[in-house]
C-alpha cells in the first residue's frame, strides 16, 4: 500500500471549488492531495496580432510556482521563464484549446492563469483540470450574456499523472513517488476518451510497450473520475 493506504490505482482526494475569486470571469481552486492550484480565466476582446481578422479566438495558459509552494523557496521568475515553466504553460494552453470551438469564440482571447500555492506532484494535471473548470465558467458567462453561442463548448478535458515506481504502475504520483519513478507521464484526455496529449519519459530505465499500455489504461480510468468531478462541480 502507498502513503495513507492508497491503492495503486487510486487518486488522492481531489476537490474543486468553483468561482473562488470575485473578479475573474471564471475561477477554480483545486486541492489535489497536498497539491493546491488556483486557476483564473480572463477574457479579452482581442486576439494575438497573427490571428487578427481571421474570425477565430484563442485560449492560452500561464503557470507559476509560488515561492513557498515547495519544500525550499522557489525563486520568482522575474528575469525570464525557466524551460520547465514554458513547457508547462504550452501544455496547459494546448490542452485547454482542445476543449473550445475557437471559431465560435470569435476574436477573443481567454487567458487561464494557474498559480501553484503548494506542490506535491501532479501540478500539470491539477492545473489542466482546474483550468478547464475556470475556462468553462468564463465561457458560460459569455454564452449567458449572448456574446457567443453554446457551440463554443467542445469536449471537456482533464489530466492525471501516472508512473512506474519499483516496477509497479501507479496512478496520480505524489512528489515522493515521482522523484523515485523509473518512468512518469502526464496524460490529457477529453470526455470522448480521446488522448489530447501524452508527455512522458524514462527517468531511470527504459520501459516496455506493455508497461506503456498499462499506464495509459490506468490514466484513462483516473481521468474518467476527474471528468466526473468536473461535471458535478459545473452542473451539480
Structural domains of the chain sorted by starting position, each given as residue range(s) with its CATH number in brackets? 9-235 (3.30.230.70)
Which residue, chain included where needed, has cell 476543449?
99
Reported pTM: 0.96
High-pLDDT (> 70) share of the chain, %: 100
Q: What pLDDT score was predicted for residue 71?
A: 92
What gap in Å lies between CA 203 and CA 207, rounded to an integer? 10
What gap in Å lies between CA 54 and CA 36, rounded to an integer? 37
Contacts 24+ apart (CB under 8 A), 196-202: 196/94, 196/95, 196/98, 196/157, 197/91, 197/94, 197/95, 199/91, 199/124
Q: What pLDDT score was predicted for residue 204?
A: 84
Q: What is the pLDDT averaged over residues 74-94?
A: 94
Q: Taking 80 as the threshold, does the pLDDT of residue 233 lie above it? A: yes
Q: Taking 90 as the threshold, does the pLDDT of residue 6 lie above it? A: yes
What does the angle CA 126 – CA 130 – CA 135 come to, to the nearest 5 degrees? 145
What gap in Å lies between CA 223 and CA 230, rounded to an integer? 10
Q: Taking 80 as the threshold, does the pLDDT of residue 181 lie above it? A: yes
pLDDT digits (tens, 9 = 90+) for 15-68: 999 999 999 999 999 999 999 999 999 999 999 999 999 999 999 999 999 999
Burial class (CB in 10 A: 0-12, 13-18, 19+), 95: buried
Top-confidence residue, 1 or 26 = 26
Q: Taking 80 as the threshold, does the pLDDT of residue 103 lie above it? A: yes
Q: What pLDDT score was predicted for residue 79?
A: 87
What gap in Å lies between CA 35 and CA 127, rounded to an integer? 10
CB within 8 Å of 201: residues ≥ 6 apart: 183, 184
What gap in Å lies between CA 112 and CA 78, rounded to an integer? 19
Amino acid at each position: 500500500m502507498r502513503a495513507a493506504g492508497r491503492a495503486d490505482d487510486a487518486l488522492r482526494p481531489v476537490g474543486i471549488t468553483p468561482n473562488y475569486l470575485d473578479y475573474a470571469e471564471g475561477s477554480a481552486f483545486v486541492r489535489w492531495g497536498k497539491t493546491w492550484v488556483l486557476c483564473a480565466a480572463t477574457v479579452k476582446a482581442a486576439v494575438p496580432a497573427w490571428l487578427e481578422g481571421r474570425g477565430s479566438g484563442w485560449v492560452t495558459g500561464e503557470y507559476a510556482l509560488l515561492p513557498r509552494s515547495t519544500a525550499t523557496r522557489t525563486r520568482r521568475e522575474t528575469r525570464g521563464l525557466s524551460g520547465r515553466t514554458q513547457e508547462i504553460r504550452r501544455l496547459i494552453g494546448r490542452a485547454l484549446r482542445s476543449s473550445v470551438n475557437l471559431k465560435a469564440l470569435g476574436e477573443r482571447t481567454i487567458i487561464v492563469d494557474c498559480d501553484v500555492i503548494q506542490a506535491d506532484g501532479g501540478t500539470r494535471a491539477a492545473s489542466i483540470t482546474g483550468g478547464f473548470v475556470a475556462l468553462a465558467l468564463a465561457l458560460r458567462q459569455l454564452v449567458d450574456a449572448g456574446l457567443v453561442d453554446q457551440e463554443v463548448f467542445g469536449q471537456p478535458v482533464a489530466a492525471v499523472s501516472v508512473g512506474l515506481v519499483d516496477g509497479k504502475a501507479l496512478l496520480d504520483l505524489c512528489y515522493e513517488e515521482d522523484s523515485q519513478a523509473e518512468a512518469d507521464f502526464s496524460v490529457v484526455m477529453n470526455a470522448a476518451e480521446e488522448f489530447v496529449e501524452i508527455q512522458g519519459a524514462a527517468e531511470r530505465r527504459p520501459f516496455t510497450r506493455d508497461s506503456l499500455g498499462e499506464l495509459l489504461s490506468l490514466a484513462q480510468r483516473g481521468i474518467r473520475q476527474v471528468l466526473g468531478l468536473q461535471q458535478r462541480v459545473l452542473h451539480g
